[in-house]
Amino acid sequence: MAESLLLLGPVVFQAFEIPERISFGGAQHLAVHRLPGGARVIDALGRDDAEISWSGIFSGGDATERARLLDVLRAAGGVLPLTWDIFYYSAVIAKFEADYRHGWWIPYRITCTVLRDEAQALLQDVASLAVTAVADLGAAAGYAAGAGVDLSAAQNAVGVPGATTLAGAPYNSAVTAVGGAQTQLAGSIATTDAQLGSLDVTNAPALATATSTAGQLASLTAAQGYVSRTAVNLQNAST
């Protein structure tokens, strides 16, 4: 998953810190009532998300500071945004373990307990490319709005009849608008990432600001995932 941006609170993982894989999923909490004769009645009581774990290596001149920051966040026990690709959770660091080998090489393992799947309410089964595109851009706009980015132009363009049918003016306009949304989000992500990197997270006030900025970056990244999926779907549109 080297191409995905991984964030946890104010920490933007980079280089060897980014894991090869992250497992996600969980179980459905069930109450199984066993009746005479072998019949069963099953009540689905709701999702039970598994813990999300991964490992990597802090490296370079700031490895110790970055590892220490995660340990501080673990000790604080706060709810943090966790995001990669189009996944966006609110989570708490349940466990963080680091093996100090050198000041510039610190392997680590981290486990997060999911409080809430922020994207779940926006994911749904869809029957057509048009519905998919509108739903994805609606999700993207919701995330982007929280970070001050307006994606209404792309939403409007994709909502026009014929926008998801290959060729024609509505389709071309939709492709252009979605491409513009991708560029807009990429610029906002770069700016927000730079702001996050410039903060001194060794003191409490700056750490709070960094966590808020990381939340905005997480929202922008989630929005970018939905917009990118819309762009790919438009490319695969049929006549």
Q: pLDDT digits over 92-106, tens only?
A: 999 999 999 988 999
pLDDT, residue 238, reads 63
pLDDT in tens, 172-224: 999 999 999 999 999 999 888 888 877 776 666 677 788 778 888 888 888 88
Question: CA–CA separation, 226 vs 19, rounded Å?
Answer: 22
Q: What single letter denotes the amino acid at residue 212?
A: S
- Please enumerate in sequence order all residues whose Cβ is within 8 A of that of 36, keeping only pairs 6 or more positions apart, or say none: none
Average pLDDT, rounded, for the chain: 84
Single out the residue of 233, 223, 229, 86 nearest to residue 152, CA to CA: 223
What is the CATH architecture assignment of 7-118? Beta Barrel (2.40)
pLDDT in tens, 117-164: 887 754 443 336 777 888 888 888 888 887 888 999 998 898 888 888
- Please enumerate in sequence order all residues whose Cβ is within 8 A of that of 189, keeping only pairs 6 or more positions apart, or say none: 5, 217, 220, 221, 224
Kindly state the helix (H) or strand (E) to which residue 231 belongs, with its residue range: helix 204-235
Question: CA–CA separation, 122 vs 142, rounded Å?
Answer: 9
Q: What single letter denotes the amino acid at residue 175?
A: V
- Among 35-49, 91-105, 109-123, the range with the most confident prediction by mean pLDDT is 91-105
pLDDT, residue 161, reads 84
Task: Report which of residues 51 and 209 the model is more confident about.
Answer: 51
Q: What is the mean pLDDT of residues 84-95?
A: 90
- 111's tokens: 């486990």
The domains of the chain are located at 7-118, 123-235
pLDDT, residue 24, reads 85
pTM for the full predicted model: 0.54
